[in-house]
Amino acid sequence: MRLSVKLAASGDHFVLTLLPAQRVAVGYATEVVESLQVPDPVVEVMFAAPRRTLVETGRRFDSEETTATLAEIRVLYQMLKTVPECFGSEEAFHTRTGYYRENFTDLAKGLLSAVGKISQPAEG
């Protein structure tokens, strides 16, 4: 899976372009959050957002291009970073998602890198 993401500024929003495999990974992350068998307050502590926000935001990223706020991108980042921690082993994670833990964490790092690049002042 390609780990870099395409991110462009659009006013006070961002346009995030995800490849098909990246969208599938986000879909799996969303499904995992939605199906976690822990109380909602535990999810909120783990992911720094309520379960409903996580699921609704994750579902928004199911198309090639999504216009999103910085807060929504933060939620996506947090899901990708935290979902791998919900599994006791690499094998369990791979069995459930078809990906390896580092695919999710590296995709999160790619998202963070894209935000950093777009946020740097233009040199002139």
**Domain for residue 74, yes or no?**
yes
What global pTM score does this model have?
Answer: 0.91
Tens digit of each residue's pLDDT (9 = 90 or more) over 53-92: 999 999 999 999 999 999 999 999 999 999 999 999 999 9
Residue of 22, 46, 49 lying closest to 109 (CA atoms): 22
Residues 6+ apart with CB under 8 A from 15: 7, 8, 9, 65, 66, 67, 68
Tell me which residue range forms the domain holding 14: 6-116
**Domain for residue 1, yes or no?**
no
**Domain for residue 34, yes or no?**
yes
Tens digit of each residue's pLDDT (9 = 90 or more) over 96-122: 999 999 999 999 999 999 999 998 766
**Domain for residue 58, yes or no?**
yes
Domain count, the chain: 1
**Domain for residue 122, yes or no?**
no
**Domain for residue 121, yes or no?**
no
